[in-house]
Structure 1
Amino acid sequence: MRSDRPLRSGTRALGTLFGLLLLMACTAGNAGFSSAEYDSERAARLFTAGYHDIAGVYIEAVPPRQLAQAGLSELHDMDPRLALEPEEDKGFVLRVEDQPALHYALPRQQDYDAWGALTARVLDDARALSPAVAEAEGEELYGTVFGGIVGELDGFSRYSGRDQARENRAGRSGFGGIGVRIRNEDDGVRILSVMEDTPAERAGLQGRDLILAIDGAPAKEFDQYEVVQQLRGPVNSRVRLLIEREEVETPFQVNVQRAHIVPQTVHYSLEDSVAVFRVTGFNHATTATLRRKLVQAEREAGDRLSGYLLDLRSNPGGLLEQSVSVADIFLEGGRIVSTHGRHPDSHQYFESRHEARVPPRPMVVLINGNSASASEIVAAALQDAGRALVVGSGSYGKGTVQTVLRLPNEGELTLTWARFHAPSGYSLDRRGVMPDVCTSGETQDEEALMSGIYQGFTREHRALRRQRVAVEDPGELAAFRAHCPKDDAEREADMRIAMKLLRDPNLYAAAQGLPTVTAEVPRSEVLLDQAPSIEAPAGVSAPAQ
């Protein structure tokens, strides 16, 4: 579903594209921000854009005076001698070593241009009064002030400077690169993995290869950021790598032609009769990749397939449109998600297209305490439609939508602008998705869980999902979440339980609350002893190139 209708704020028109459980929008006026040096006029334009954006789309109204004071108060961290304080209704006073230095009158509340100009003027004065502030580059100053501004908003709103925003956009939409994950080492750059159907794979590069040189320059002399810049480049351009491989006696050279790379988020394996799809995020390629993998699974296994397992554990989310289209692959109608916020355009309803793309095979979705936002949308939509069983712990409870707004310095403001609701109507914010089969807390013994399924324990969780919860009440929210506590672990036991459900039609039907061939409860009724959790191995942080 395209979502490119114009989003109107009071004084600023934003083109919208749903993204990162977010909406991506562009703003004009980026010229002149290439220099790292601070410039007062550029700063005024930048902060004006920021105040306009927050006023236009943030889920709650926040007075610009509160934002400006919080942002400029952060200058104290750069120079402890500086302090910005309110002067009753008169304005602000900038103090140096507790002595008032300069006074500032307050603009009208909705004059965001004036608030941007005021913020830049205080920065100018602080640079004149403080060598520490004067020596800071423009991007450092912008990050400092915006850090204070977004600190007044919710925990999901944030500012990303120019360089970080470039990485964010590359992760969402792709970049010119070769398709490898890397790690810097003492002797060079280690290739950790090679993405499928990429220039690196076509050139014969392999995981564990060591890059000794990039275009003739020793790779060990680059830091990780510099390696990223060396390996990335315009699509169809070439990069020359000197490669060391353990089983090859001497290093050899590989020429790789860059292509448009979108980080791989879908990983497929066929486990006997079950097609397993691990989805680690939602970017622009997620739905298309999942569709291809589903076709591959049907081609490889066909009638042998007993079901699909969608593993969303530790999936932090991603593009809203992709979560909708992933859920739509498996659905034959009905609502997928709705969003509601302060802005009129935040009231959105996303429906299935009434034509499932795959056979209606049994399906299990795995979640844990780190499954958030877009992954919670998919899990809730498939669960509410009765299309899939959800197994694992309570999810994160990140039930808000963010919009990403590009700023004049090529940085980004990520602002919460709506809350999303499951098809059955409940808001996922803070309460999360409650699994059909809970494997956290005191219910971790596998045999006891199987017995509990036959005894109807899953009916209790279905009833709980319909329960109204005052999430603003910490006690009531904690009591609700205690029924299936949030757990960040990725247990092998969860996978085993999912496999049993998909391979045993009787067990699967019982978990859905449907009639079974036999209602007989398995003989082994084990006490709910807590089994030791099996923690997933720590991942290696490595950017894709």
Structure 2
Amino acid sequence: MRFGFSGHLRLTPLAGLLLFLLAACASGAGQQNGNGYDEVAARYMFATGYQDINAVYIQDIPIETLAFSGLQKLHEVDPTISVTRKPERFLLNQEGETISRYELPKGNRIDLWGKVTAQIVDDSRKASPKIAEAGREQLYEKVFEGMIEPLDGYSRYATPEEARENRANRDGFGGIGVRIQLIDKGVEIVNVMDDSPAERAGLDDWDVIVGIDGVPAPELSQEEVVSRLRGPLGTHVTLGIERPGRVEGTWRSLEVKVERAHIVPQTVEYERLDNVAYFRISGFNHDTAETLKAKLEQAKDEMGNRLEGYILDLRSNPGGLLDQAVFVSDLFLGEGRIVSTHGRHPDSHQYFEARDDAHFPEAPVLVLINGSSASAAEIVAAALQDSGRGIVVGSNSYGKGTVQTVLRLPNEGELTLTWATFHAPAGYSLDRRGVLPNVCTSRQDGDLQETLSQLSGGRLISSPHLRQRDIDRENELALAEFRSICPTSDSLNETDIEVAMKLLQDPGLLSHARRGAPSTAQRMAEDRTAE
């Protein structure tokens, strides 16, 4: 069981349910009715979903509500079939006529709710040729999509195929370490990861793969290319390569054999900007913190005492694993709270503190965010901002302040369920509210000179009181007013980077941004002086 951010959740399963399920599966009592559908396996599948939601989800949702919502989705497979609810029973209807009635289990008997759900699906298959023709996974997908509709927008079901891709992005996969895009000639290598099998085999950015194990690459879809490049660790793939020649417009051909290794998608890119270390962090997977730490060390070695500061670009970073957000924050913090989480389940109340061993405590940290910076990215921004260690530049962030846990289902699909909200070190919840930057750039429409002029006059700087104010998440007016202070923008323009560079080069302005905007009286005095 895995958190959509991180951690380990220990649940006590219903012993009777597990015994029933294990016995049923072991006995082979299930009957497959075509297209891989097995009623006993379906009972197990649906009961597991009900148990997970009942145990983990941040709100207590009646299982009857989940079951009814899921079964209503059968109507999308065959519009003549519908499920309606009466007191203490569900009705299965065809063409508006009731064809079966089902007494509902009392309370939260997970095993019985799994059984009645599977029975209704099975009876609908007998009554409807369209539903009978639907494959097992299609029916699972429909019911689970309906099952999670009463939940929040971050909870979701992933099919086995989608779940495999999700796990690959989180945990890594057997591959060669390249980013690709399809072109007419074949498959262009956009980027070769550092220290990857592709790099060790001599592949370069902008090489074009024209064949994979003898199969012409132009004949393959992107999914087929990815499938052929990935494989078990230690196996090999042979690539036909076309490489740009020294004379423009010419190509040279070569064949490269690459041994697959464990690949975790690269989420950190480093660039030196004068004497500033700039890091673009696109997400938080299992390697993010270690990769960032290595690149921070690289920057430190390159610039030594000339290093003026760090820029962490978290713009349009959708988030990822909670533990990685904590580890990234901890690289810069020597003490204090990083984040806390709180939900319905007892294990959801967790507190994450910085260790007394900050690796990079010396130089200032500038954090860039925008309206698409979410979840783990917001944790890092808020932790560095509230501690005073970092200064945040950009626009108000997305406001995705909830933690999800990912649970694997019997069919190898996944349920992602919201199980807690997270809170910044100052105590406020980030959910729907987001992070308010120290320096707001979203009101300047990307005009660099105007932005720098406003910044020098202290006009773009917010106060700590505003930044750390807790907002009632149910008060739409208060939320709208808060988020209007620095309106969200999805911009990735250079203005934010230039503002960060300006702050790093001007210690007085940097200190001003850290302390916050001057008081109203002070600003009035400045205005009179200017006149």
Same fold? TM cut 0.5: yes
Aligned to 1:259: 261
> Structure 1 residues 36, 216: closer, same or farther in 2, change over 3 A?
farther
- Please tell me the residue identity of whatever aligns with 2:133: E
1:234 deviation in Å? 1.0
1:367 deviation in Å? 0.2
Does 2:42 align with 1:43?
yes
Aligned to 2:166: 168
Aligned to 1:289: 291
Please give the per-residue CA displacement for 1:366-417, whole angstroms capped at 9, x wherever unaligned. 0000000000000000000000100000000000000000011111000000
1:125 deviation in Å? 1.1
Aligned to 2:19: none
Aligned to 1:201: 199
Higher relative contact order (CA 8 A, sep 6+): 1
Q: Say if 1:318 and 1:373, in contact at 8 Å, map to a contact too.
A: yes
| 1:130-141 matched pairs, under 5 angstroms | 130-141=128-139
Paired with 1:147 and 1:5, the residues of 2 have a C-alpha distance of 25
> Structure 1 residues 255, 457: closer, same or farther in 2, change over 3 A?
same
Aligned to 1:495: 497
Paired with 2:421 and 2:208, the residues of 1 have a C-alpha distance of 46
Q: Say if 2:160 and 2:413, in contact at 8 Å, map to a contact too.
A: yes
> Structure 1 residues 186, 458: closer, same or farther in 2, change over 3 A?
closer
1:333 deviation in Å? 0.1
- Please tell me the residue identity of whatever aligns with 2:190: L
Please give the per-residue CA displacement for 1:125-148, whole angstroms capped at 9, x wherever unaligned. 111111111111111111111111
Aligned to 1:145: 143
Aligned to 1:542: none
1:9 deviation in Å? 4.6
Equivalent residue for 2:14, pick from 3, 11, 14: 11
Secondary structure, in 3 states, of the residue corresponding to 2:117? helix
> Structure 1 residues 460, 181: closer, same or farther in 2, change over 3 A?
closer
Aligned to 2:481: 479
Paired with 1:45 and 1:216, the residues of 2 have a C-alpha distance of 43
- Please tell me the residue identity of whatever aligns with 2:117: T
1:443 deviation in Å? 7.8
How high is the TM-score relative to the length of structure 1? 0.87
> Structure 1 residues 459, 30: closer, same or farther in 2, change over 3 A?
farther
Does 2:273 align with 1:271?
yes
Does 2:63 align with 1:60?
no
| 1:401-412 matched pairs, under 5 angstroms | 401-412=403-414
Q: Say if 1:334 and 1:354, in contact at 8 Å, map to a contact too.
A: no
Aligned to 1:311: 313
Paired with 2:479 and 2:512, the residues of 1 have a C-alpha distance of 29
Paired with 1:5 and 1:146, the residues of 2 have a C-alpha distance of 24
Paired with 2:90 and 2:452, the residues of 1 have a C-alpha distance of 65
1:515 deviation in Å? 13
1:458 deviation in Å? 6.4
> Structure 1 residues 443, 141: closer, same or farther in 2, change over 3 A?
same
> Structure 1 residues 515, 109: closer, same or farther in 2, change over 3 A?
closer
Q: Say if 1:340 and 1:420, in contact at 8 Å, map to a contact too.
A: yes
1:444 deviation in Å? 5.7
Paired with 1:228 and 1:469, the residues of 2 have a C-alpha distance of 45
Please give the per-residue CA displacement for 1:235-273, whole angstroms capped at 9, x wherever unaligned. 111011111223264432110000100000000000001
Q: Say if 1:435 and 1:461, in contact at 8 Å, map to a contact too.
A: no
Q: Say if 2:463 and 2:516, in contact at 8 Å, map to a contact too.
A: no
Paired with 2:251 and 2:337, the residues of 1 have a C-alpha distance of 59
Paired with 1:122 and 1:112, the residues of 2 have a C-alpha distance of 16
Paired with 1:405 and 1:208, the residues of 2 have a C-alpha distance of 39
1:514 deviation in Å? 8.5
> Structure 1 residues 30, 209: closer, same or farther in 2, change over 3 A?
farther
1:122 deviation in Å? 1.1
> Structure 1 residues 217, 453: closer, same or farther in 2, change over 3 A?
closer
> Structure 1 residues 154, 216: closer, same or farther in 2, change over 3 A?
same
1:183 deviation in Å? 2.3
Paired with 2:14 and 2:122, the residues of 1 have a C-alpha distance of 26
- Please tell me the residue identity of whatever aligns with 2:414: E
> Structure 1 residues 12, 418: closer, same or farther in 2, change over 3 A?
farther
> Structure 1 residues 246, 456: closer, same or farther in 2, change over 3 A?
closer
> Structure 1 residues 485, 201: closer, same or farther in 2, change over 3 A?
same
- Please tell me the residue identity of whatever aligns with 2:263: I
- Please tell me the residue identity of whatever aligns with 1:284: H
Does 2:105 align with 1:107?
yes
> Structure 1 residues 447, 213: closer, same or farther in 2, change over 3 A?
closer
| 1:204-223 matched pairs, under 5 angstroms | 204-223=202-221
| 1:502-521 matched pairs, under 5 angstroms | 502-513=504-515
Does 2:425 align with 1:426?
no
1:10 deviation in Å? 5.8
- Please tell me the residue identity of whatever aligns with 2:91: V
Paired with 2:453 and 2:244, the residues of 1 have a C-alpha distance of 51
1:449 deviation in Å? 4.6
1:208 deviation in Å? 2.3
Q: What number of residue pairs does the alignment pair up?
A: 503
1:207 deviation in Å? 2.4
Paired with 1:390 and 1:449, the residues of 2 have a C-alpha distance of 15
Q: CA RMSD in A?
A: 2.7
Secondary structure, in 3 states, of the residue corresponding to 1:169? helix
1:38 deviation in Å? 1.8
Aligned to 1:243: 241
| 1:25-104 matched pairs, under 5 angstroms | 37-87=36-86, 89-104=87-102
Paired with 2:482 and 2:376, the residues of 1 have a C-alpha distance of 22
Aligned to 1:388: 390
Secondary structure, in 3 states, of the residue corresponding to 2:157? strand
- Please tell me the residue identity of whatever aligns with 2:308: S
Secondary structure, in 3 states, of the residue corresponding to 1:146? helix
1:441 deviation in Å? 3.0
Compare 260-269 and 352-361 and name the one that shifted more.
352-361
Please give the per-residue CA displacement for 1:479-512, whole angstroms capped at 9, x wherever unaligned. 1110011111112111110110112212211212
Paired with 1:196 and 1:250, the residues of 2 have a C-alpha distance of 24
> Structure 1 residues 489, 287: closer, same or farther in 2, change over 3 A?
same
Paired with 2:468 and 2:80, the residues of 1 have a C-alpha distance of 55
Please give the per-residue CA displacement for 1:139-181, whole angstroms capped at 9, x wherever unaligned. 1111111111111100000000101000000000100000011
1:459 deviation in Å? 6.3
Paired with 2:360 and 2:446, the residues of 1 have a C-alpha distance of 32
> Structure 1 residues 470, 186: closer, same or farther in 2, change over 3 A?
same
Please give the per-residue CA displacement for 1:458-492, whole angstroms capped at 9, x wherever unaligned. 66432112323222121111011100111111121
- Please tell me the residue identity of whatever aligns with 1:399: G
Paired with 1:38 and 1:378, the residues of 2 have a C-alpha distance of 45
Does 2:358 align with 1:356?
yes
> Structure 1 residues 263, 431: closer, same or farther in 2, change over 3 A?
same
- Please tell me the residue identity of whatever aligns with 1:124: D
Paired with 2:228 and 2:71, the residues of 1 have a C-alpha distance of 37
Paired with 1:300 and 1:30, the residues of 2 have a C-alpha distance of 60
Q: Say if 2:7 and 2:323, in contact at 8 Å, map to a contact too.
A: no
Paired with 1:222 and 1:296, the residues of 2 have a C-alpha distance of 39
> Structure 1 residues 5, 210: closer, same or farther in 2, change over 3 A?
closer
1:51 deviation in Å? 0.3
- Please tell me the residue identity of whatever aligns with 2:374: A
> Structure 1 residues 191, 451: closer, same or farther in 2, change over 3 A?
closer
Does 2:232 align with 1:234?
yes
